[in-house]
Structure formats: C-alpha cells, structure tokens
Structure 1
C-alpha cells in the first residue's frame, strides 16, 4: 500500500483539512501508479474512441493543478506560469502526449506540480477565496473538493485504460 493510501486510512476521524488533503494525495498517488511501469508506447496507447491515454491523463491533471491552485487561488497571472499546451483552438492540448513527452518526464512534472500545489494551498485557509473566470469566487475548500473529484474521475479512467493495456488493476497499479 502506498504512503498516500495508508495516510488516507488514518484520517477517518481527522479534521476537515487533513481529510481533504489526504483524499487528494491518495488519488494523486493512484493516478501516478497507473502511469508508472508503462512503456513509452503503452503510455501513449489509446484503447477507447476518444483517444484518451494514461500519459495524457497525468499530463492533463498537472495543468489542472496549476490552474486551480496557482492561477485561481494564488492569483498568479497565466503569463507568469509555464504555459499549458491547451489553446482556445485546441482545448484538449493538455490531454495529449507530445512527441517529446516521456513517462519519466510526465511523472516528474506531475510530482513537481503537486508539490507546488501543496505549498501554495498551505498558505491559505479553507475559507480563503480565489477568483475563477467562469465560476466566480471559489474557496480553497471548494477547490480541494473539485480537485479530488477530477483526480478520482481521471484515476478511474486511467484504471480502465491500464487494465485494457496490460491487465493490471487495483489501487497500487
């Protein structure tokens, strides 16, 4: 069992913030585990009509983390941050692996972004507000809940893709 999964099982009576952080870290670890151990070609392999890949899901969630915690919560302008491969003409650019993307690179980028996200969130209270261009004011509590939902949803997608690729299933794979 990963450290994140073990931590989540110990938070059943923890406070709100610790519980939210543990759930998010658990699903981050589960998602990460779906990409670990895949070959470069399998990370790019799609087994569904949408073209979704395990590598693409990890890449996408790296940018989701940056958007919600650095841009929305901390208010850092997009032009001061690394630029997402998504554009107004290609909204799904962050879901596709570029030719230069590698499994190790995607994992390192995701890990680094998750650490930046943790550091950013630690400076705020759950009731602190960020401004989203479409949703308006959102609290850190809401951002955590949204990130848990989105990460868990995509971890489920990655679980199905991984099972179709090599038969691996479970929380640690």
Structure 2
C-alpha cells in the first residue's frame, strides 16, 4: 500500500516588472505556492502534526485557514457573495479550520484550497483595484485586499517554515 503524500508545488518566480495588478497577483500567487511547497512530500499525518507545543498550529490547519481567508476576502467581501458559507468554521466553531484537523482529509483539503484560489481569482478578475466594498471599519478597496492577502500569506508562510523544519528538518522552497 502506498502512503499518500502532498504533491509537489510549482512556484513561478514573482514578476519584477509590469503593471500594479500583475505585480500584486504575481506576489499573491508566489505566496500561495510557497504555502503548498511547505506541504510537499509530507504525509497526511505529518500535515496534521502540531509541532510546537502547546500550539495546535499545523500545516494542514494553515492550508484550511487560507482556504477560508481566500473565500472571505475575495469571494464574500470583494466579490459580493456575502451569503457563502465558511468552509471549515461556523459560529459555534470559529476556529474549525485549525481545531478540526485530526479527522480531516488532507488530500481533499489541499484540493479545496486550490479550487478556492481559482474561484477567488475569478471572483475579482474583472474588478478594478479601486473597486470598494464595505469592511468592518469602512470602505475597503480591492487593492487593499490584495495587499492584506500578501501580508497574511507572508505571516503564515513564516509559521509554515518553522512547522516544516520541526517536522522533518526541511527548510527553504
């Protein structure tokens, strides 16, 4: 019997020239692939391993969290699809993406992440960066969403670096 492992990620070099939208999308895609790269070659059990006690933070939890974040910022807020349900969390379980990984299907969760990324990109593809939607503290532009998402990935990719190194010693990607 073959043990499932997370597939190889293919990260393209971030763009260094181009218009603002190209640069924002390129950096966002680079960070998306970095997160998947941190998962490459690990088994489902390794992806579910909380490697720094007492934290329950796992690589799979980060992937599930970013699935929720992609849906929230791009589809629900910027795309106007406010009624879309959360993927893993609920009002009764606000941290379900992090807390409920023990019985999660890692292969399905990685596929859900990749599908959500495509749906997120499609939801905002025709919107100008200046388009606005209502945030908790006033209007937010799509430009702000891109910048926030790059920051969110950068922060969580730092967590992923440490978790991956703790699991098997691998660094870089």
TM range (shorter): 0.7 to 0.9
The answer to whether residue 144 in structure 2 is matched with residue 142 in structure 1 is: yes
The answer to whether residue 69 in structure 2 is matched with residue 30 in structure 1 is: no
Q: Give the gaps of 5 or more residues in structure 2.
A: 1-8
The runs of at least 4 aligned residues of structure 1 exceeding 4 Å deviation read none
Inter-partner Cα distance in structure 2 for 1:97 and 1:35:
18
Q: Deviations along 1:80-120, whole A, 9 cap, x unmatched?
A: x2433323343221223444422211110010000011111
| Corresponding residue number in structure 2 for 1:114 | 117
* Structure with the higher helix share, 1 or 2: 1
Inter-partner Cα distance in structure 2 for 1:60 and 1:135:
23
1:41-120 aligned within 5 A: 41-48=45-52, 49-78=54-83, 81-120=84-123
Q: How many residues are paired up?
A: 164
Inter-partner Cα distance in structure 1 for 2:10 and 2:56:
31
Q: CA shift at 1:164, angstroms?
A: 0.2
Checking the alignment, whether the CA contact within 8 Å between 1:44 and 1:97 is kept in structure 2 is no
Inter-partner Cα distance in structure 1 for 2:18 and 2:10:
17
Q: TM-score, normalised by structure 1?
A: 0.87
Checking the alignment, whether the CA contact within 8 Å between 1:126 and 1:139 is kept in structure 2 is yes
Which of 8, 13, 18 is residue 14 of structure 1 equivalent to?
Answer: 18
RMSD over equivalenced CA pairs, Å: 1.6
| Cα 1:129/1:77, change in 2 over 3 Å | same
Checking the alignment, whether the CA contact within 8 Å between 1:38 and 1:103 is kept in structure 2 is no
Q: Give the gaps of 5 or more residues in structure 1.
A: none
Inter-partner Cα distance in structure 1 for 2:146 and 2:116:
15
SS in structure 2 of the partner of residue 5 of structure 1: coil
